């Protein structure tokens, strides 16, 4: 949350707009101040009990959920106004999510004999169970790994992926330099883990340890199987409505899906009747999964988005982009706008880069048709936003 003092902007963690709090300054840098709430003198009616210590993914946990939705709507509108120079005509609709057990993907850290999340802004471990982000059975798996794997001292971080119903669960172990992998398979083979892989921090090669490191879901008629290391949206409750909303924005005709991942939009669109679908993905793991999931039904191109060249003269009805948090590079955005698609659908987890790229699209002759947000990350300041554009 933001306060101001003697002309400086003060970012205050653990507060709610309208409260009076006692805050301790933690850092000052180039006229900006970071502070943490130490005592709440005049609490907001929206304050609720929350875990101590701002464990990762819980920075909004002290805020009642309806107020979280309002704050996120304001974050989207503010970012578009300040960075994109766009003033919206109406408040942004933020689709809510259940808070408990929403995460299908998590990055955990191993320190000593503990496995958990980092506290915000630190490398100290906190208990993942207290955040309520993971299912109870997933927490039990972490406890088993803590008993067997953590004491070995070979693992620094763990990536965990599971399917929607958590019937499949895989882990990837990031190893300390020089770690011995010979005993890892037996140590990581705990109840509730279907497969594991590992890699050394200084070596990109992935070693399959045991079982299957793939998890899979059926989403709107598409089978989406993915490796534990491949990116995939992490909220089990909003995945289907999120996909439905994106597909509603698709115009009839050829579709290009840039940063296609394992096929979340391209394959569900094809299943919904889209013709001439092209999916472009540069990540090794995601592209491999995309090729397997597509099974010849769509065109798959394994390449960076910046290298994509459509066949000359082919009209494109819809472009979907779902770039990483850093947004699209200038080259990628220039190539995407040059396609002159009738509809341009931008999916983003970062409002700052989305607002920046929105201004480029508007200046290139597009207009905004709709803005909708999905709270894929409840109890955090992050929100997934979908903006649908049409060509003027």
Residue 273 neighbours by CB distance under 10 Å: 9
Indicate if 177 and 292 belong to the same structural domain.
Answer: no
Does residue 306 sit within a domain? yes
Q: Is the pLDDT of residue 188 over 70?
A: yes
Q: Which residue has the tokens 């100290």?
A: 124
Indicate if 254 and 306 belong to the same structural domain.
Answer: yes
Q: Which residues contact 380 (CB under 8 A, 6 or more apart)?
A: 57, 58, 59, 60
User: To the nearest whole number, what is the mean pLDDT of the chain?
Assistant: 94
- Higher-confidence position of 314 and 86: 86
Indicate if 112 and 172 belong to the same structural domain.
Answer: yes
Indicate if 211 and 260 belong to the same structural domain.
Answer: no
Does residue 59 sit within a domain? no
* 8 A C-beta contact, residue 380 and residue 62: no
Give the CATH number for residue 192.
2.40.50.1070
pLDDT tens digit string along 123-161? 899 999 999 999 999 999 999 999 999 988 899 999 999
Please give the model's pTM, rounded to 2 decimal places.
0.94
* 8 A C-beta contact, residue 76 and residue 351: yes
Give the CATH number for residue 262.
3.40.50.150
Does residue 62 sit within a domain? no
pLDDT tens digit string along 354-371? 999 999 999 999 999 999
Indicate if 172 and 313 belong to the same structural domain.
Answer: no
Domain total of the chain: 3
Indicate if 210 and 242 belong to the same structural domain.
Answer: no
| Banded model confidence at residue 208, pLDDT cuts 50, 70, 90 | very high
Nearest to 261 by CA among 230, 296, 303: 230
What is the per-residue pLDDT for 312? 64
How far apart CA 202 and CA 208 sit, in angstroms, is 17
Domain that holds residue 28: 1-47
Q: Is the pLDDT of residue 346 over 90?
A: yes
Q: Which residue has the tokens 């763990």?
A: 158
What is each CA distance from 216 to 10, 87, 183, 286, 354, in whole angstroms?
44, 40, 28, 13, 29
Indicate if 267 and 139 belong to the same structural domain.
Answer: no
């Amino acid at each position: 949350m933001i306060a101001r003092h003697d002309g400086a902007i003060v970012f205050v963690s653990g507060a709610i707009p309208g409260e009076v709090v006692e805050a301790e300054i933690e850092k000052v840098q180039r006229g900006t101040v970071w502070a943490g709430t130490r005592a709440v003198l005049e609490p907001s009616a929206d304050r609720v009990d929350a875990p101590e210590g701002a464990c990762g993914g819980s920075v909004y946990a002290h805020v009642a959920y309806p107020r979280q939705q309002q704050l996120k709507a304001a974050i989207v509108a503010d970012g578009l106004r300040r960075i994109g120079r766009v003033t919206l005509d109406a408040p942004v609709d933020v689709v809510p999510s259940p808070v408990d057990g929403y995460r299908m993907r998590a990055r955990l850290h191993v320190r000593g004999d503990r496995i958990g999340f980092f506290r915000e802004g630190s490398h100290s471990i906190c208990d993942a169970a207290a955040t309520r982000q993971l299912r109870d059975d997933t927490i039990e798996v972490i406890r088993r790994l803590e008993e067997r794997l953590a004491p070995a001292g070979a693992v620094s971080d763990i990536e965990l992926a599971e399917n929607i119903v958590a019937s499949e669960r895989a882990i990837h172990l990031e190893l300390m330099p020089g770690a011995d992998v010979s005993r890892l398979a037996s140590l990581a083979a705990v109840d509730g883990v279907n497969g594991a892989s590992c890699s050394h921090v200084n070596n990109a090669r992935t070693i399959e340890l045991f079982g299957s490191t793939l998890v899979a879901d059926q989403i709107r008629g598409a089978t989406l199987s993915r490796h534990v290391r491949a990116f995939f949206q992490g909220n089990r409750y909003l995945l289907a409505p999120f996909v439905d909303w994106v597909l509603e924005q698709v115009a009839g005709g050829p579709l290009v899906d840039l940063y296609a991942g394992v096929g979340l939009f391209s394959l569900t669109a094809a299943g919904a009747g889209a013709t001439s679908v092209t999916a472009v993905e540069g990540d090794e793991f995601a592209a491999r999964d995309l090729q397997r999931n597509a099974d010849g039904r769509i065109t798959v191109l394994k390449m960076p988005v910046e290298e994509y060249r459509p066949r000359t003269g082919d009209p494109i009805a819809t472009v979907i982009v779902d770039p990483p948090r850093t947004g699209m590079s200038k080259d990628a955005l220039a190539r995407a706008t040059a396609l002159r698609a009738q509809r341009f659908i931008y999916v983003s987890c970062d409002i700052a880069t989305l607002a920046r790229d929105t201004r480029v699209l508007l200046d290139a002759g597009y207009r905004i048709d709709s803005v909708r947000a999905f709270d894929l990350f409840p109890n955090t300041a992050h929100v997934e936003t979908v903006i649908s554009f049409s060509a003027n």
